[in-house]
Amino acid sequence: MPEISHEYSSGLTCRPMGRHSLQSLESDVLILICESLSMIYPQALRVLGATCRRLYQFTVAFNYRTIHLKPKLLASPMSPSLERFWEKMHCHTRHISIMEELDWDMVIPLVSECQMLSVIDWGVWGERDGCQSPETSRIPRLLQDIWPRADLRLINYPWPSKVWYNMYTYTLPTENIVYISTQALKNKKRDFEPLGKLISNSPKLKVLHLESMCGDGLWTKIRVPPIRELVMRECTWTFTPEEVGVVWDFSQLQILEVNVIDCAKEFLDSVPGGSLKGLRKLIVTGKHDVRWGESCSRQLNDLISRSHLLEALEIDCELPLLRIESVYKHTDLRTVKIQDFRGFGNEKIVCPTLTVRGVAGLLDACPRLRHLSLDLDQTTCEVEDFLRLLARFRNLQYLKLRMRSLLHELGENSTSVDADLEAAKRHASLLGSEKEGLPMISLTFCIAGYNESTNRSTPEWQ
């Protein structure tokens, strides 16, 4: 699927800040500026810090807040620049990530001097079957001894077999675990027991990311702590409503992401809708499944209509079954990505899209939208009216439109003019000239509906 993308800079001109105005900024204001910049555009922090000594003092703390430990940081003997790096790390680092084997005799003394460390990512599991060396397996517990209150995040947990279960039992400080993500399970018959016991023995667990999980009877033998975030990729869900009540506690769930439609359908079937009212972010995507697509779309509409707290909504659905009025209730939405399963595979496919009236309702109800992704059929919609409405979203800065191609299926477009490209240029110009509020940062047109190898292989195109 070809993609035509136009990137817009902010359009803001930076004027030199006078010395007095800079000095007049309170420290709390500068910290807020650095905090926001670190989330939006962290690379710019180093540039900002180079402008003056005072700003450097504020940005350095954010530049060293998270450090990924790698062998090159452990060179012996250390160069003066590396020594300065560790000095800053000892003062400012709050989060370290350990994802590969290191010289532990060097690592432990160095990181033990980090005064503010509060989060540790651990992703060292050995080359096969979670088989760690005894030296490596003792490190998580040793780190916990140094920082007893630090949160431990397990990255790409390898679904170890029972053979290695005891090692994990004794070396992972489960009382500190707040995050678990699993590797994709190549053999779906692998034993679940080690992971299940790790989950149930982690009382502070808040985030659970599962890859290739199969629900089986062993799940019903554990109790999952009240997590805030659940992500399921390529998973199946076989729990009955009764089993959900025994195994899961969704009273604090704020983020739900599922990328398989039948899994989402089974999940929504078994989980009482009232238990998901606290959702802040809902992502349900995947290929159309004729068995479950309609049912899942209706369930999604019911779920969305029951609550009003969503800040991010990303769903693939049968659009006619989604009442856009249900979305209007969520006035704090910052991200909306709603697309029909069908898309624009070829010119014969009719892909339902939001109407101009629907977009107008979204404009009135959700003024904080910053990211928006929708379908737009150029052949059935007043495109200019549609785009002018989008330009009125004052906070909108990231827009993606999936559109039908203006080319024809049988190659009748053998001309030197690319109709899709010219249309995209017109659309971009209209949005750029009429955009209200914040300037557009990213504008993407995803053009589909023709076979490129058929339509653009003629001598005229070449």
d(CA 354, CA 383): 12
Asked if the model's pLDDT at residue 434 lies above 80, the reply is yes
Angle between helices 383-391 and 356-365 (to 10 degrees): 10
Model pLDDT, residue 312: 98
Asked if the model's pLDDT at residue 32 lies above 60, the reply is yes
Mean pLDDT is lowest, of 3-17, 190-204, 399-413, for 3-17
What distance lies between CA 174 and its chain's CA centroid? Answer: 26
Specify the pairing of strand 95-98 against strand 119-122: parallel
Please give the single-letter amino acid code of residue 217. G
Model pLDDT, residue 35: 82
355 in a domain, yes or no?
yes
Q: Please state, rounded to an integer, the average pLDDT across all residues of the chain.
A: 83
The CATH number of whichever domain residue 428 belongs to comes to 3.40.50
d(CA 378, CA 387): 11
406 in a domain, yes or no?
yes
Three-state secondary structure string covering 125-136: CCCCCCCCCHHH
169 in a domain, yes or no?
no
Angstrom CA distances, 399 to 44, 140, 370, 371, 393, stand at: 23, 43, 8, 6, 11
> What number of other Cβ atoms are within 10 A of residue 355's Cβ?
14
Please give the single-letter amino acid code of residue 372. L
Maximal CA-CA distance, the chain: 71
Confidence of residue 214 (pLDDT cuts 50, 70, 90): confident
Angstrom CA distances, 177 to 144, 173, 212, 252, stand at: 10, 7, 21, 17
285 in a domain, yes or no?
no
How does pLDDT run across 60-118, given as a tens digit for each residue? 888 899 999 999 998 878 899 999 999 999 999 999 999 999 999 899 999 999 989 99
97 in a domain, yes or no?
no
Q: Give the range of the structural domain holding residue 417, as residue numbers without chain letter.
A: 348-462
Question: Is 302 in contact with 321 (CB distance < 8 Å)?
Answer: no
- Under the phi-then-psi rule, with left for phi > 0, alpha for psi from -120 to 50, and beta for the rest, what region is 269? alpha
194 in a domain, yes or no?
no
Q: Is the pTM of this model over 0.75?
A: yes
74 in a domain, yes or no?
no
Question: Is 309 in contact with 280 (CB distance < 8 Å)?
Answer: yes
Q: Is the dihedral of CA 226, 227, 228, 232 positive or negative?
A: negative
Average pLDDT over residues 425-443: 94
Confidence of residue 409 (pLDDT cuts 50, 70, 90): low
d(CA 49, CA 183): 38
104 in a domain, yes or no?
no
- Tell me how many domains the chain contains: 1
Average pLDDT over residues 382-400: 95
